[in-house]
Amino acid sequence: MRYSAAGARITCPCCQNDTFHLDYKLLNTSGASFLGFDWANKNAAILICKRCTHISWFMEEPTSDN
């Protein structure tokens, strides 16, 4: 799929491809992990380039252009 962020089309900074897989990763903090509160940490959206597999991280989910 193709995605945009802040009104701009996203392209891979490594290979200039414009199709990605969307996934989510937990942003762990040492304090929350130490106290057993990993569930309270924020998630980040990641886009994985379908051509070269470079991963780009986003604090707000990019919008799908498809």
pLDDT at 27: 73
Check residue 39 and give its pLDDT. 53
Q: What is the mean pLDDT of each run of 10 residues along the chain (66 residues)?
A: 96 98 80 56 88 96 90
Contacts of 44 (CB under 8 A, 6+ apart): 24, 25, 26, 27, 57, 58, 59
- Identify the pLDDT of residue 34: 56
pLDDT at 30: 60
For residue 20, what pLDDT is reported?
98
pTM: 0.79
Domains annotated on the chain, with CATH: 3-64 (2.20.25)
Counting beta carbons within 10 angstroms of the beta carbon of residue 34, is it exposed (0 to 12), middle (13 to 18) or buried (19 or more)?
exposed
